[in-house]
Chains A and B, each alone.
Chain A
């Protein structure tokens, strides 16, 4: 079955700590991968996406993610978080060339000032 797993449901970090949020997917075939962020009271915004090419993808606000095909993973990283990174983060996958996104359950990140 097609699915996305985000193992960390809640993460609490202090400012300047490093962040890594896990994302594993189950999907047959070529995939496109996405990370979205939802700040409190706002809509989902695209952080970064992977379609093809360099498996290390850089996004906005200092985030990056690495696609490891052999592990079916697309973990999100940031070397030093800020209080303003407090939000919910969603990983999503879709079959290449298709439109149906499959989302993970999200990870709520709280950064302490």
Chain B
């Protein structure tokens, strides 16, 4: 049973370029979450998606960041016109439908470096 998959694992971009991060949830999981970890900080919630729906994007920066989880294919976190401050590790997690005992399972992360 494959876990949460993320690719690429490492991504280098120059300022102004676009970054696309992909997340494939665990089999049977229909809920995806994105977190960002800045250096020396804990993971910070960004967005929560179900298939074709954004449920909560309260942690997303207002500009340049977007996320989707299409009916087919992985969830995508897209960062347009990257800046140095976007350098971080981006973690995706997935879960089955939310319930009292539901737990999120994390992927290995994508480490984004903006030059």
Contact = CB atoms under 8 A, between A and B. Distances in A.
Contact of B43 (A42, A90, A97): A90
Contacts of B103: 34, 46, 49
B106 A44 contact: yes
B112 to A, nearest CB: 16
Majority DSSP secondary structure for residues of B touching A = loop
Contacts of A105: 40-42
Range for the number of chain A residues in contact with chain B: 20 to 34
Interface in B59-75: 59
A36 B98 CA distance: 19
B22 to A, nearest CB: 15
Size category of the binding interface on chain B:
20 to 34
Contacts of B40: 105
Contacts, number: 54
Contacts of A104: 42
Interface string B93-115: 00100101111111111000000
Nearest to B59: A100
Contact of B108 (A43, A99, A100): A43
B50 to A, nearest CB: 11
B91 interface: yes
A77 to B, nearest CB: 21
Contacts of B31: 99
Contact of A100 (B42, B45, B91): B45
A96 interface: yes
